[in-house]
């Protein structure tokens, strides 16, 4: 399709016009406005303890003033090495009100990974909690890097009184002792002030709100530089997808990790902006998530496909009351059609596929909440977002008419660039004849006559088979049609004659019965092109996943390489 923008103007299925403008807004102002409007209504439900907007705003103000008293201010990089706990929300918005920049770090990082990103970002102070899974790692980084201080919170202190006592008693082995070190400050000490210092003056379009590390389109992790305007725009863009916005109580189950850009926008920033409530779980656990759905009655659940699969697979799924759930947003990985059908039948909720990147503040496109969507697509662009296809080999040219092309994106949520990586701008962005700057996603897609976008594959994942380009996702989609297949990844293996040959790796559903790799290969190959046929289907108990539960082709290739060298 040569002009997808015509379809988005004439056949747009999200609420409101597609090409509306979002004025720049600072994240601090957005938070203050919601707190003023919502007052003592709940913002957070953390395992049964409620924190109101007013209480959370007071905590954020105290964080900002505490940091200011320590000598930190606008432009400083301050890190969050935290799971989903109330400290995260207070620290996140406190750092932003200070005019400083948040740097998100995964709680799953090793010492080496955390140290490398602390040094790359120039992070001066790091927030963490007194958990054995986190504090020892943070202490080692404090000693080995240029990090100046740690602020350490207590999970027990954030729980309801009864649960706090149980936590201290039953989980004593999971709590690490905070050393007596002048570089280490308790979270309670940091916020021991009146919170009366002024919010910094912030230019939303130039001041960085967040450095979000990502693998980017290629290479080692790089810090996506996201401004206040980027984050506030994406939060509003996502909020405006909901046709019921403002007419129903907005309550979202927050099981995605806040340190990931998907949750940062779709759970945290978006819900704060709407005046909704976040039911927080420290991490995803299917049993806890099902219990929280029954206890708190959320209407929305953003997640990745493996989370929705795990919820369906849990023994308590059948006895769970799903009736409050209306919309479940799936991102981070392709959503298998069979999973979408099963989940919707079991729960009555709509499971909608969307798409985004760290470099786009989280979200680029989504299927509509109420209007008819298209299964197997990532929907239409969210408001204010333009998507085009360029030639896979030369991003300065449009994709040939009717052929897949690399997806490029422009909009108010697109990052400024990578931190300390100006040399990557030439491969990260491209420009059209009018001088418009576009983000190159590295994903190959098609856009249909209604403006719906379909991901074909990633450029770097394409397999070169005797001069043909093979898209692994196409083979994986066929595999998912087999009733025994639960998860599938296809990778290219060296081949002396053809250069590479596809090989499939799968895990099976619990009720798969006796299914062999040979039988799956013989079932699969007649359904794909000759150049797409796999040399084998390898059955594994499970396939590797990323920190948010997305299937990881990269980690699978590492496993295969290690097996080959053993």
Cβ contact 252:269 at 8 Å: no
Distance, first Cα to last Cα, the chain: 49
CATH number of this structure's domain 462-565: 3.30.300.30
| pLDDT at position 217 over 80 | no
Determine the Cα–Cα distance for residues 536 and 506; give it in Å rounded to an integer. 11
Spell 76-115 as b/e; 16+ CB within 10 A means b.
bbbbbbbbbbbbbbbbbbbbbbbbbbbbbbbbbbebebbb
Containing H/E element for 191? Answer: none
pLDDT tens digits, 129-153: 998 989 999 999 999 999 999 999 9
pLDDT value of residue 332: 82
The strands making up 277-280's β-sheet, listed across from edge to edge, are 49-52, 42-46, 277-280, 251-254
Determine the Cα–Cα distance for residues 350 and 322; give it in Å rounded to an integer. 11
What ranges do the domains of the chain cover?
Answer: 4-22+231-457, 27-202, 462-565
Where residue 158 falls among pLDDT bands split at 50, 70, 90? Answer: low
Cβ contact 64:198 at 8 Å: no
pLDDT tens digits, 530-539: 889 999 999 9
Where residue 218 falls among pLDDT bands split at 50, 70, 90? Answer: very low
pLDDT value of residue 169: 45
SS3 231: helix
Q: To which CATH superfamily is domain 4-22+231-457 assigned? A: ANL, N-terminal domain (3.40.50.12780)
Q: Which CATH number fits domain 27-202: 3.20.20.410, 3.40.50.980, 3.30.420.10, 3.60.150.10?
A: 3.40.50.980
pLDDT tens digits, 96-117: 999 999 999 998 888 988 999 9
Helix axes 337-347, 305-313, angle to 10 degrees: 50
Long-range contacts of 535-541 (CB under 8 A, 24+ apart): 535/493, 535/495, 535/501, 535/502, 535/503, 536/503, 536/504, 537/479, 537/503, 537/504, 537/505, 537/506, 538/503, 538/504, 538/505, 538/506, 539/506, 539/507, 539/508, 539/515, 540/505, 540/506, 540/507, 541/507
| pLDDT at position 66 over 60 | yes
| pLDDT at position 164 over 70 | no
pLDDT value of residue 500: 87
Residue 481 main-chain phi, psi, to 5 deg: -75, -20
pLDDT tens digits, 267-318: 999 999 999 999 999 989 999 999 999 999 999 999 988 899 999 999 999 9
| pLDDT at position 434 over 70 | yes
Higher per-residue confidence, 529 vs 225:
225
Where residue 160 falls among pLDDT bands split at 50, 70, 90? Answer: low
Can 4-22+231-457 and 27-202 be said to share one CATH topology?
yes
pLDDT value of residue 380: 98
Reference 412, options 207, 224, 230, 205; nearest CA is: 230
Four-point Cα dihedral 510, 511, 513, 519, nearest 10 = -80
pLDDT value of residue 220: 66
Residue 383 main-chain phi, psi, to 5 deg: -55, 145
pLDDT value of residue 159: 63
pTM above 0.95, yes or no: no
């Amino acid at each position: 399709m040569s002009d997808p923008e015509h379809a988005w103007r004439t056949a747009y299925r999200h609420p409101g016009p597609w090409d509306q403008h979002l004025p720049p807004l600072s994240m601090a102002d957005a938070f203050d406005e919601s707190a003023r409007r919502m007052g003592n209504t709940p913002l957070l439900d953390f395992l049964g303890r409620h924190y109101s907007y007013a209480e959370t705003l007071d905590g954020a103000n105290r964080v900002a003033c505490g940091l200011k008293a320590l000598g930190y201010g606008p432009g400083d990089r301050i890190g969050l090495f935290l799971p989903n706990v109330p400290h995260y929300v207070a620290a996140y918005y406190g750092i932003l009100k200070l005019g400083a920049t948040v740097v998100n770090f995964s709680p799953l990082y090793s010492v080496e990974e955390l140290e490398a990103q602390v040094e790359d970002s120039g992070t001066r102070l790091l927030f963490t909690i007194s958990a054995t899974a986190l504090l020892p790692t943070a202490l080692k980084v404090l000693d080995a890097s240029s990090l100046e201080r740690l602020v350490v919170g207590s999970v027990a202190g954030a729980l309801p009184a009864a649960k706090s006592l149980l936590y201290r008693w039953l989980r004593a082995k999971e709590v690490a002792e905070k050393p007596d070190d002048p570089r280490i400050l308790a979270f309670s000490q940091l916020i021991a002030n009146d919170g009366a210092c002024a919010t910094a003056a912030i230019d939303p379009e130039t001041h960085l709100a967040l450095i979000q590390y990502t693998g980017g389109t290629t290479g080692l992790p790089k810090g996506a530089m996201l401004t206040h305007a980027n984050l506030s725009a994406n939060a509003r863009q996502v909020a405006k997808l909901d046709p019921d916005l403002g007419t129903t109580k907005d309550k979202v189950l927050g099981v995605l990790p806040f340190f990931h850009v998907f949750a940062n926008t779709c759970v945290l920033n978006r819900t704060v902006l709407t005046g909704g409530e976040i039911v927080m779980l420290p991490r995803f656990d299917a049993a806890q998530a099902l219990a929280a759905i029954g206890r708190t009655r959320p209407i929305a659940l953003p997640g990745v496909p493996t989370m929705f699969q795990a919820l369906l697979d849990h023994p308590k799924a059948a006895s769970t009351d799903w009736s409050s759930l209306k919309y479940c947003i799936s991102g981070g990985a392709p959503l298998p059609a069979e999973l979408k059908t099963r989940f919707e039948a079991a729960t009555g909720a709509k499971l909608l596929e969307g798409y985004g990147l760290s470099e786009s503040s989280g979200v680029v496109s989504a299927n509509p909440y109420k209007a008819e969507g298209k299964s197997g697509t990532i929907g239409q662009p969210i408001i204010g977002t333009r998507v085009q296809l360029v030639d896979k080999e030369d991003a300065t040219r449009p994709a040939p008419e009717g052929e897949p092309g690399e997806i490029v994106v422009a909009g108010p949520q697109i990052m400024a660039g990578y931190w300390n990586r100006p040399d990557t701008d030439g491969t990260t962005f491209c420009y059209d004849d009018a001088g418009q700057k576009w983000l190159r996603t590295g994903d190959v897609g098609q856009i249909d006559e209604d403006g719906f976008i379909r991901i074909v594959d990633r450029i770097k994942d394409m397999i070169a088979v005797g001069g043909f380009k093979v898209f692994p996702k196409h083979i994986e989609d066929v595999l998912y049609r087999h009733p025994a297949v639960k998860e599938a990844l296809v990778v290219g293996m060296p081949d002396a004659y053809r250069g590479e040959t596809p090989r499939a790796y799968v895990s099976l559903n619990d009720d798969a019965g006796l299914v062999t790799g040979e039988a799956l290969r013989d079932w699969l190959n007649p359904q794909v092109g000759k150049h797409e046929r796999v040399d084998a289907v390898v059955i594994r108990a499970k396939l590797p996943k990323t920190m948010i539960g997305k299937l990881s082709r990269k980690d699978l290739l590492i496993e295969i390489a290690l097996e080959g060298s053993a």
